[in-house]
Structure 1
Amino acid sequence: MTDATPDTASAALPADPYDLTGLTALVTGGASGIGAATARLLAARGARVAVLDRDPSGAPEGTVPVQADVTSDEDVRAAVAQAVAELGSLHILVGNAGIGAVGTVESNADDEWQRVLDINVVGLVRTARAALPHLRRAAAVRPGSASITHTCSIAATAGLPQRALYSASKGAVLALTLAMAADHVREGVRVNCVNPGTADTPWVGRLLDQADDPGAERAALNARQPMGRLVSAEEVAAAIVHLASPAAASTTGASIAVDGGMQGLRLRPAGS
């Protein structure tokens, strides 16, 4: 007869699994859009939050702003160390910093491909690499508390026109999420991602401003999502914070679509 193995997977959840009191978080790209909404919600749930951004002046009130460019390993390591020094620990990493790109494979030169992949993919790698020693320590002290959540995209799982470079970068983020989940599950660090549809963020607003007819372009983006509207930053943040919370203690290697049904639904035309 062998000794019983502790059943850590069935450990009881806290009374409120969405209460993040006592946990600490770092959100990259957290000074605007989805990142800022995520930082605000993490703080509202009780976490102490640091925001890493190239320009952290827009960091939500009550968060710790740290300046870094995710294309610089030196910057990222210094910023993560600063955040941990301010917070005292690190339980939650949200890898959200990223940029967009428009066009077919013929539209973007090699340097633009390198720039987008460097920010959207390698930027996540640099941040996780700097954060993982702290996340492992947090997991050892408080099992189930350590997580990494990436902001991915519907572009990783659906073919979108005029998004070749952006889609390639987000496809890499999805694959990276799965690989990291496998690498770190036995260290107590969960790794997941959220796939937003077209979200009503400053970046999308800038794209619309560049269109010949911004109103018509917004209407087309609304119509592309079965729910008939853009996704809000707060809706994406809610999914990210769920994955980071004890409520998702058994969830790793997962991707959650927050896309108004864009990925999975195939509706008949209205009125048919």
Structure 2
Amino acid sequence: MSVRLNNKNILVSAAGQGIGRASAIACAREGARVFAVDINEATLATLVEECPEIQVHKLDVCDRGQINALAEKLPQLDGLFNCAGFVHHGSVLDISEEDWTFSFDLNVTSMYRMIQAFLPGMRERAKVQGTASILNMSSMASSLKGFPVRTLYGTTKAAVLGLTKGVAADFVQEGIRCNALCPGTVDTPSLRGRIASAPDPVEAEKNFIARQPMGRLATVDDMTPMVVYLLSDESRFVSGQALLVDGGVTI
């Protein structure tokens, strides 16, 4: 077994499927003690079947009480990957007040809650280990690039970049690093759901593929090497950055 994350305590949210699931497994295989959380207990159960060494907990990242209770229960973290999120479809004219509130709560405010709950322990851990890492899920659809019918999603993901840079600036001298992962279009159950709900799913898939200069959708395994790198000590001099893994979309 590789030991790039040996003896590190790492928490991954939205770990039941997609990038979160793949990241939890990748971190475990690199020697980390992984705590995987998701609101969906069924997907967490299949994660344990695939990777029994991962410890799973049901968690609603929009519930501060649940988050604080988990933070008291778990050991101090070396790494926190805030992966939970939602993709709203529509222009600014299609965004309801409810859409706006929900998307910001899940895509941004949940990260603020998680960081507030786990950062105190991470600061203590960094005193011993020298560094600890927070990784926030953003997107190429953010302040980095605009996309049609992604106004609300892009707005929340731009806010994630602001949160990331603020946390990085405040705690850099304590060895706390905070970065953002900015994927391109990744073939996940979430994307497959959006394709299936389109009026013409075949055309929708072609359009998603066409916007990637590399000519294909990303896979979750295209994302996990960057996740492992940013949670490992290999990235100990990297903080406050938005790291694109987008197949060349933003060239």
Which range, TM-score by smaller chain?
A: over 0.9
- Name the residue aligned to 2:140: 154
State, as a whole percentage, how many aligned pairs show the same letter. Answer: 34
Deviations 1:5-50 (A, max 9, x none): xxxxxxxxxxx8x611111100011111000010000000000100
- Name the residue aligned to 1:50: 35
- Name the residue aligned to 2:10: 25
Q: 1:55 to 1:79 in 2, by over 3 A?
A: farther
Q: 1:57 to 1:89 in 2, by over 3 A?
A: farther
**What runs of 5+ residues in structure 1 fail to find an aligned partner?**
1-15, 265-272
- Name the residue aligned to 1:72: 63
Q: Which has the larger radius of gyration?
A: 1
- Name the residue aligned to 1:135: 122
Pick which of 225-234 and 42-51 moved more.
225-234
Pick which of 41-50 and 73-82 moved more.
73-82
- Name the residue aligned to 2:236: 249
RMSD (Å), alpha carbons:
1.2
**Residue identity in the other structure for 1:48:** R
* C-alpha distance in structure 2 between counterparts of 1:81 and 1:260, whole Å: 39
TM-score of the two chains, using structure 1 as the length reference: 0.87
**What runs of 5+ residues in structure 2 fail to find an aligned partner?**
none
* C-alpha distance in structure 2 between counterparts of 1:56 and 1:183, whole Å: 35
* C-alpha distance in structure 2 between counterparts of 1:203 and 1:93, whole Å: 22
- Name the residue aligned to 1:230: 217
Structure 1 segments of 4 or more deviating over 6 A? none
- Name the residue aligned to 1:239: 226
Deviations 1:103-147 (A, max 9, x none): 001112101100000110000000011000110111011102x10
1:194 corresponds, among 181, 184, 189, to: 181
- Name the residue aligned to 2:168: 181
* C-alpha distance in structure 1 between counterparts of 2:76 and 2:41, whole Å: 20
Q: Tell whether the 8 Å contact from 1:208 to 1:218 is kept in structure 2 after alignment.
A: yes
TM-score of the two chains, using structure 2 as the length reference: 0.94
2:245 corresponds, among 246, 250, 258, to: 258
Q: Tell whether the 8 Å contact from 1:35 to 1:237 is kept in structure 2 after alignment.
A: no
**Residue identity in the other structure for 1:98:** G
Shift of 1:81: 2.6
